[in-house]
Homo-oligomer: A and B are copies of this chain.
């Protein structure tokens, strides 16, 4: 172990009886090197236990078998689960992961993508639909297309067009449409929609909600579409004081906000689901922790991650016909906060 680590390009040159320039040429696959010389150098590299990749990085070429992963925040339940699945899949395929946490602003995202590119990674995975849409009004996705000129870019939960960009998204539009329709069919028509984000995914969810209302002939009331923080106490306080409209149900784009609605109902003595139906999103541990247990949309994060990694591995093997976009269906997990 210790020996391998100390071996450098000089040692390989010495072991194979050639100059370091020749070692570099071999690693760079320069056609000027004879097959015989190449064989000698490769033998030395092999004997040393050193991977040519480690040289190659210094020489600006070849793969380090390292994938850059960018998340806005690893403390987020959805994202930490996603990174766990990605790391599992990629490790099995022989890739290492460099993790960066970017935060949510456009400039932070760009900076961190640049930092990852400087590390000579083979590909980037952007985890979180904030990369495909944003609270920032000036947001656009050109920075992703710029990065995709250098390495393949994979996006988890958002669809962005562009060459060398591969996207996997949960079908959040359809899931949101279906949940809203089910609430309407169970007799609700004042459905409070809570969201903490203006990401690609949050926009899809809002569209599904509005379309379901429209199709049922229910007007979309702006007062019932509330932007808030994904925090249990914040949502509880919000519903107690700051919502200027009646509501008979809550549909939240993350489980944390839905649990805030449960806490509000309990403090007001409202019966769940009779007086207030509540649906969350992400099907996290919070759903079976809360009382009553929370109905929630399972957005199939494990399948989304596997699908992303499978295509990444194909792309890095230069496979043809790898689809650039893939959409995964969600499903509603019914528990005690709904009666449908």
Contacts and interface: CB of A to CB of B under 8 A. Distances in A.
A39 interface: no
Contacts of A60: 5-9, 11, 54
14 contacts: A2-B149, A5-B120, A9-B58, A21-B21, A51-B118, A54-B57, A55-B58, A57-B58, A58-B59, A74-B83, A75-B80, A87-B100, A289-B290, A290-B290
Contact of A117 (B5, B91, B97): B5
Contact of A289 (B9, B98, B286): B286
Contacts of A226: none
Interface string A230-241: 001100000000
Given A1-B150, A286-B286, 11 more contacts: A5-B150, A11-B60, A54-B57, A58-B58, A75-B84, A77-B77, A77-B285, A87-B99, A232-B285, A290-B290, A290-B291
A276 to B, nearest CB: 15
A271 interface: no
A128 to B, nearest CB: 14
A158 interface: no
A88 interface: yes
Interface in A3-30: 4-11, 19-21, 24
A153 to B, nearest CB: 14
A57 B59 contact: no
Contacts of A262: 291
Contacts of A288: 232-233
A153 B6 CA distance: 18
A245 to B, nearest CB: 26
A150 B289 contact: no
A216 interface: no
A107 to B, nearest CB: 14
- How many copies make up the complex? 2
Contacts of A11: 60
Contacts of A20: 20-21, 24
Contacts of A263: 291
Nearest to A255: B289
Interface in A127-147: 146
A115 to B, nearest CB: 7
B285 A256 contact: yes
Interface pairs A-B: 10 shortest CB-CB: A58-B58, A8-B60, A80-B80, A291-B291, A75-B84, A99-B99, A74-B84, A289-B289, A87-B101, A55-B58
B74 A87 contact: yes
A90 B118 CA distance: 17
A213 B19 CA distance: 71
Contacts of A75: 80-81, 84
Nearest to A30: B10
Given A54-B57, A99-B99, A120-B54, A150 B24 contact: no
A83 B87 CA distance: 14
Contacts of A5: 60, 117-118, 120, 150
A7 B1 CA distance: 31
A57 B8 CA distance: 9
